[in-house]
Amino acid sequence: MAGQRNQFRIIGGQWRGRKLGFFPAPGLRPTPDRVRETLFNWLAPVIDGARVLDLFAGSGALGFEAASRGAAQVTLVDSHPRVVSQLQQNVRLLQASRMTICQSEVLRYLDRPPEPCDIVFLDPPYQTRVLEDCFTALETGWLTQTAWIYFEHDSHTQAPSLPAHWQVLRNKQAGQVAYQLARRQPPQE
């Protein structure tokens, strides 16, 4: 029974129904199925062929879901060694050749030369309050002109401030999780 608690299920795409384990690090909480289903319904028109960056990957639920649904490249970033080890094990299990795992603090990772992404997932531990710093770092070349940025935060806290040219297109709440999907707007000509 204990093993069942440390699993999540991929809900769509090529690996639909597959269960994957995750290391139960403190504060790690996989994005719930119904939230993932809603998010990937929103992203359905743009996920196929997208370059995806999953920051604070944790269980990898969002990144694996994106790869399962046809993303061209998915990079998972997390700092916890045992979490990363489990992510690597899951990539090998699925033979997910389009997925890359990087063990790094997220802001340190974003300090490197950027690789523009079409979709970014941000689900940091709620107590860290780093979303706005991540938004700023992503604006250094990590986002395509019209990138999609999904982020979660504790529903009992105020939503973070977004860069001026990001627009929130979707905004929902499920229990303690407030989640939003923003899109970067191209510069005005």
Span 72-98, average pLDDT: 97
Q: Is residue 189 scored above 70 in pLDDT?
A: no
Query: For residue 188, what pLDDT is reported?
Result: 64
Tokens read off for 57: 């990957």
Asked whether residue 66 carries a pLDDT value surpassing 60, the answer given is yes
Residue 11 has pLDDT above 50, yes or no: yes
| pLDDT top residue among 177 and 150 | 150
Look up the CATH architecture of domain 2-184.
3-Layer(aba) Sandwich (3.40)
**Between 126 and 52, whose confidence is greater?**
52
Q: How many CB atoms lie within 10 A of CB 123?
A: 25
Sign of CA dihedral 56, 62, 68, 73: negative
Domain range summary for the chain, segments of one domain joined by +: 2-184
CA distances from 124 to 2, 118, 119 (A): 25, 19, 16
Residue 68 phi, psi (nearest 5): -60, -30
Residue 145 has pLDDT above 90, yes or no: yes
Residue 3 has pLDDT above 60, yes or no: no
Cα separation, 157 vs 128, whole angstroms: 12
The CA-to-CA distance between both ends of the chain, in Å, stands at 58
Q: For residue 127, is pLDDT > 80? A: no
Q: Which of 24-38, 75-89, 169-183 has the lowest mean pLDDT?
A: 24-38
Q: Tell me what pLDDT residue 19 has.
A: 95
> Of 107-111, 147-151, 185-189, which gets the smallest average pLDDT?
185-189
pLDDT band at 4 (very low <50, low <70, confident <90, very high): low
Element (H, E) at 107: helix 106-109
pLDDT digits (tens, 9 = 90+) for 88-114: 999 999 999 999 999 999 999 999 999
Tell me the two tokens of residue 31.
């994005």
Q: What's the angle, vertex CA 65, arms to CA 62 and CA 68, rounded to 5?
A: 150
CA distance 132 to 3: 35
Q: Is the pLDDT of residue 1 over 50?
A: no
Average pLDDT over residues 58-82: 97
Which of the four pLDDT bands, split at 50, 70 and 90, describes residue 187? low
Residue 80 in tokens: 């916890």
Separation between Cα atoms, residue 171 and residue 150, nearest integer Å: 10
Q: What is the pLDDT of residue 41?
A: 96
